[in-house]
Amino acid sequence: MNRTSIRCATVLVALAIVIFVPACHRSTPLELRTPAQRVAVYNGILAESVHAATEAAIGLERSGVLTRAQVLQVLEYTERVANSSKAVAVIQQTPRDWSVLAPQIRTVLNAISPPGDLARWLSATPEEANELSASLDAIQSTVAILIREVSK
């Protein structure tokens, strides 16, 4: 298992833990009580997912699985997501009420959408691209969770 696979697995495990921890009814130090706390954690997971997808895309280009054009498309998308993640972090540092911050964060997150043909060519790439596909799925899932959190 290479380093990128380990990072991808770590991101997916972290995402699963954060999703299922609130399902526990006992109060633990890991329990995130406010939407702002949950958004901060999910935003960290988003950043890790972006990093994993970027590393996977570059590795797949080096191994000849993906073309330069495909990798550039992934990198353009991950850069947009990374910039949005940074914007969410900056918004969260603003000393304002959550009712003011949440709509601002939602606006930033709603601007994130993968290129339309990304899914098409990923489904046509070799089995080795599954790692990249999983990383991109983790990005989209995390964005969806973040949008849900700021919409409450």
Per-residue pLDDT tens over the stretch 27-44: 445 566 888 889 999 999
* 3 has pLDDT over 50: yes
Residue 75: left if φ>0, alpha if ψ -120 to 50, beta else—which one? Answer: alpha
Residue 120 to residue 124: CA distance in whole angstroms: 7
The reported pLDDT for the residue numbered 118 is: 67
Give residue 124's identity as a one-letter amino acid code.
A
Report if pTM > 0.85: no
Which residues have a Cβ under 8 Å from the Cβ of 56 and sit 6 or more positions away?
Answer: 4, 8, 131, 132, 135
Task: Name the phi and psi angles at 4, rounded to 5.
Answer: -65, -40
Residue type, 133: S
**pLDDT (mean) for 74-94:** 93
* pLDDT tens per residue across span 61-76: 898 888 898 889 889 9
Q: What is the pLDDT at residue 25?
A: 47
